[in-house]
């Protein structure tokens, strides 16, 4: 009997009941705008900012409209100007180079290793070309942050971290997003907390946060923020900083607060699923798993494996055969992006030199989401299906 999987790879969990109740409360109040507060009220958005700052250990957190907006705001707050070059990953998701392009700056792509992290040798070579690195922890893979921080020191780089897939993760005990000057997060439906759209920016830096608050559209109501730099810092920047509206609203914040309280437990549940799939795939001929470094505490909300040096036809066959059995894999390396774009040569507004070592890795990356609506039995079944289909195509090739 051939097993098939019936679940949906895009079905997230429902919003927790206390989040729904809090959202109803906000709707009944009519005060959805973050600055629309009753006398003495702090507001859901400001409370969420305080809680997220406390969660990450940052002095300041700003809740915004999306992860992409958080990154663009970080770049603007650092004074990145049109024509400036900004280093970023060759393997990431489209909103990352898109944030750079949105401020008129030019992405300089840094290669990817077989461990799916930024190639630090390539970064060392290119570090002289730019002063800012927008580092994407793509699909939750954290590079050697000790070495990265040493490189930052030596080369005078300013680091912004894209933590869309590392909310709740850490490196040697330091939360992801807290190594760089600024950390950016997304609360879009497919990330670790779900408000449909949304995001955060965190930093300890007074000026960066004051600028980010004004940029986000504070209408000089920055006094109503959950975490905010001293008044004199705003006084220095408020006339010079444009308003580029991208605020979060109280409705989304109300949905997110109960999710933040559960985030660590959710991360454990993701990793249980991740390890179940990983165990099921271990030892599959022709399939390379990504071994995670010891200092990395990751969040396994998706899993990747490599079909390194396989022909395009053979990889496409694996994807097709798995899909027939209900297992939806994304071939990040596919020449034509479908439903996502994740490799540097898809972003033709930012031409770069070819990177043959990275191209070899990119071509073989296969990705799969692990929504928490999957049970551990589901995960074991999915792994059996992938193992069987990869094995079958591998044998065909050998024959």
Ligand X SMILES: *Cc1c(COP(=O)(O)O)cnc(C)c1O
107 belongs to the binding site for ligand X (CB under 6 A): no
138 belongs to the binding site for ligand X (CB under 6 A): yes
- 126: its two tokens: 């290119």
Core vs surface per residue 276-288: b (16+ CB within 10 A) or e? bbbebbeebebbe
Which among 119, 67, 115 is positioned nearest to 93, based on CA atoms? 67
Stretch that binds ligand X, among 65-73, 167-175, 245-253, 385-393 (CB under 6 A): 65-73
Angle among Cα 23, 372, 388 to the nearest 5 degrees reads 155
Least distance from ligand X to the Cβ atom of residue 285, Å? 30
Interface map 203-242 toward ligand X (x if CB under 6 A): ----------------------------------------
Closer CB to ligand X, residue 111 or residue 280?
A: 111
Distance CA 210, CA 77 (A): 9
Least distance from ligand X to the Cβ atom of residue 162, Å? 5
Q: Of residues 56, 186, 194, 216, which one binds ligand X by CB under 6 A?
A: 186
Closer CB to ligand X, residue 18 or residue 197?
A: 197
Q: Of residues 45, 56, 158, 188, which one binds ligand X by CB under 6 A?
A: 188
Q: Of residues 162, 278, 317, 367, which one binds ligand X by CB under 6 A?
A: 162
Count the neighbouring beta carbons within 10 Å of the beta carbon of residue 296. Answer: 20
CA distance between the termini of the chain: 25
- Alpha-helix runs per DSSP H in 116-205: 120-126, 145-155
Number of residues that bind ligand X (CB under 6 A): 15
Distance CA 189, CA 191 (A): 6
199 belongs to the binding site for ligand X (CB under 6 A): yes
Which among 362, 345, 352 is positioned nearest to 108, based on CA atoms? 352
Distance CA 6, CA 150 (A): 47
370 belongs to the binding site for ligand X (CB under 6 A): no
195 belongs to the binding site for ligand X (CB under 6 A): no
Q: Of residues 45, 113, 136, 166, which one binds ligand X by CB under 6 A?
A: 136
Stretch that binds ligand X, among 88-96, 245-253, 268-276, 317-325 (CB under 6 A): 88-96
φ and ψ at residue 125, rounded to 5 degrees: -70, -40
- Report which DSSP code applies to 343: B
φ and ψ at residue 146, rounded to 5 degrees: -65, -45
Distance CA 105, CA 34 (A): 31
- 254: its two tokens: 């109300």
Q: Of residues 92, 166, 170, 176, which one binds ligand X by CB under 6 A?
A: 92
DSSP string of 207-220? Answer: HHHHHHHHHTT-TT
93 belongs to the binding site for ligand X (CB under 6 A): yes
Stretch that binds ligand X, among 66-74, 79-87, 117-125, 266-274 (CB under 6 A): 66-74
Q: Of residues 43, 67, 107, 334, which one binds ligand X by CB under 6 A?
A: 67
164 belongs to the binding site for ligand X (CB under 6 A): yes
300 belongs to the binding site for ligand X (CB under 6 A): no
Least distance from ligand X to the Cβ atom of residue 123, Å? 17
130 belongs to the binding site for ligand X (CB under 6 A): no
Looking at the chain, how many residues does it have?
399
Closer CB to ligand X, residue 286 or residue 333?
A: 333
Q: Residues interacting with ligand X, by CB under 6 A?
A: 66-68, 92-93, 95-96, 136, 138, 162, 164-165, 186, 188, 199
């Amino acid at each position: 009997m051939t097993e098939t999987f019936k679940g949906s790879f895009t079905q997230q969990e429902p919003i927790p009941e206390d989040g729904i109740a809090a959202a109803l409360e906000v709707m009944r109040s009519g005060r959805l705008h973050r600055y629309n507060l009753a006398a003495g009220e702090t507001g859901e958005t400001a409370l969420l900012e305080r809680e997220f700052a406390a969660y990450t250990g940052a002095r300041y957190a700003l809740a915004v409209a999306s992860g992409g907006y958080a990154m663009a705001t970080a770049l603007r707050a650092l004074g990145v100007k049109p024509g400036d070059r900004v280093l970023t990953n060759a393997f990431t998701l489209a909103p990352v180079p898109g944030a750079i392009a949105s401020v008129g700056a030019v992405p300089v792509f840094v290669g990817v290793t077989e461990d799916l992290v930024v190639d630090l040798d390539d970064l060392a070579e290119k570090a002289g070309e730019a002063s800012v690195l927008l580092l994407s922890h793509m699909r939750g893979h954290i590079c050697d942050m000790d070495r990265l921080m040493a490189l930052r020191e030596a080369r005078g780089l300013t680091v912004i971290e894209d933590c869309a897939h590392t909310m709740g993760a850490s490196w040697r005990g330091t939360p992801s997003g807290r190594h760089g000057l600024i950390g950016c997060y997304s609360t879009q439906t497919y990330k670790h907390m779900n408000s449909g759209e949304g995001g955060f920016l965190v930093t300890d830096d007074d000026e960066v946060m004051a600028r980010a608050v004004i940029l986000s559209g504070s209408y000089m109501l920055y006094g109503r923020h959950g975490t905010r730099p001293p008044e004199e810092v705003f006084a220095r920047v408020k006339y010079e900083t444009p308003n580029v509206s991208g605020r979060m609203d109280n409705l989304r914040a109300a949905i997110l607060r109960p999710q933040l309280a559960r985030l660590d437990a959710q991360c454990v549940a993701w990793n249980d699923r991740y390890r179940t799939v990983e165990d099921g795939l271990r030892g599959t001929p022709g399939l390379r798993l990504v071994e995670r470094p010891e200092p990395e505490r990751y969040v396994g909300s998706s899993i990747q494996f490599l079909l390194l040096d396989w022909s395009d036809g053979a990889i496409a066959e694996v994807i097709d055969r798995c899909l027939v059995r209900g297992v939806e894999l994304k071939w990040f390396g596919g020449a034509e992006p479908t439903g996502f774009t994740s490799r540097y040569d898809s972003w033709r507004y930012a031409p770069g030199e070819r990177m043959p070592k990275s191209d070899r890795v990119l071509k073989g990356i296969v990705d799969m989401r692990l929504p928490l609506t999957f049970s551990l039995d589901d995960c074991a079944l999915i792994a059996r299906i992938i193992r069987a289909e990869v094995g079958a195509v591998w044998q065909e090739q050998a024959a």
